[in-house]
Amino acid sequence: MSPAVRAARIQRELEAIKPDCQHQVTTCEEIPDRRDVILVIKDLQTLLFPCFFKVSSSYDDPPGEPFERAEETLTRMIKLALPFAKTPDERDPATLTAAFMELLPRIKKQLVGDANAIYQGDPAANSCEEVLICYPGFYAISIHRFAHELYRMNIPIIPRIMSEYAHTQTGIDIHPGATIGERFCIDHGTGTVIGETARIGNNVKLYQGVTLGAKSFALDEQGNPIKGIKRHPDIGDRVVVYANAVILGGDTVIGSDSVIGGSVWLTNSVPEGSVIYYDSQASVKQR
């Protein structure tokens, strides 16, 4: 068998295998391009923090101003994403993009607060500039603030591309649906996981390896996970959660001003002002 015949046979076999998806894609032009979404992220970061962020030279510095470029690219990506909505979505992509761009001043105010919280909360941070340039926690939350607003606008796919890009770059996995308050600090951050329905208050600090996850998945009559229900915990204001703590469950509430120690496993609520820590004899203790 010649190489050409063999290649053609394999190609036919590959084309015959279809993923079990709700939307059958017929051409590559129907799918939002991850690379373009990443360029939108970089342009948005550049808009908010000039000089601290810029479009990577690996993308050959596309022409145009970041605002115009981001608006044009995001409109194009939203147009491609809307057909993937669960129900038909006839909204105008340009109108949606314009509404998102109007949110940028508020997002920047949030991110300035996040940067200050990280700087004030980490003795190793020598300046706010160092946080903006170097810190993975800030990089991840900067992308989450964009992704969350698009998620709230019910834009399919694009928010998740953004969050997974942040995940690959930092090791911090924040679902775009997670609601995060003001002055949020992730210290170190590697392995931190924040689920879709988690709600986090103001002035909260998480360390590396923290999981705000689901305790279990409710199943429908066919045995499939039920989507759209509260699965992840709520964290009150001024809470500190130390490294590798695992907090699970949609009905789990961590009261404000609490401290959750390292390696704690929690599936129940705790009142305000609690100090929870791991003890090798009693597993978890409250003080």
| More confident position, 287 or 16 | 16
Flag the least confident range among 1-5, 16-20, 221-225, 251-255.
221-225
Residues 162 and 49 in one domain: yes
Q: Is 57 exposed, middle or buried (0-12, 13-18, 19+ CB in 10 A)?
A: exposed
Q: Which two tokens stand for residue 86?
A: 């669960």
Q: Does residue 10 sit within a domain? A: no
| More confident position, 62 or 119 | 119
The mean pLDDT of 83-111, rounded to a whole number, is: 96
Residues 200 and 114 in one domain: no
Which range marks the domain in which residue 139 is found?
23-172
pLDDT band at 20 (very low <50, low <70, confident <90, very high): confident
E strand or H helix that includes residue 79: helix 66-81
Q: What type of residue sits at position 213?
A: G
For 241-285, what is each residue's pLDDT tens digit?
999 999 999 999 999 999 999 999 999 999 999 999 987 665 566
Residues 151 and 211 in one domain: no
**CB 144, CB 180: distance < 8 Å:** yes
| More confident position, 7 or 280 | 7
* Antiparallel, parallel or unpaired: β 240-241 and 259-260: parallel
The mean pLDDT of 35-64, rounded to a whole number, is: 81
For 162-209, what is each residue's pLDDT tens digit?
999 999 999 999 999 999 999 999 999 999 999 999 999 999 999 999
| Residues linked to residue 254 through DSSP beta bridges, in sequence order | 235, 270
Identify the pLDDT of residue 57: 53
Residues 35 and 168 in one domain: yes
Residues 43 and 120 in one domain: yes
Residues 32 and 165 in one domain: yes
Q: Does residue 14 sit within a domain? A: no
Residues 101 and 202 in one domain: no
Mean pLDDT of the chain: 92
Residues 163 and 252 in one domain: no
Residues 226 and 282 in one domain: yes
Residue 176: name the closest of 211, 141, 225 by CA: 141
* CA–CA distance, 7 with 19 (Å, rounded to integer): 21
DSSP structural state of residue 17: -
* CA–CA distance, 249 with 7 (Å, rounded to integer): 50
Which CATH number does the domain housing residue 209 bear?
2.160.10.10
Share above pLDDT 90 across residues of the chain, in percent, rounded to a whole number: 78
Residue 52 pLDDT more than 80? yes
Calculated CA dihedral for residues 90, 95, 99, 102, nearest 10 degrees: 170
pLDDT band at 28 (very low <50, low <70, confident <90, very high): confident
Domain count, the chain: 2
Q: Which two tokens stand for residue 237?
A: 């204001």
For 123-144, what is each residue's pLDDT tens digit?
999 999 999 999 999 999 999 9
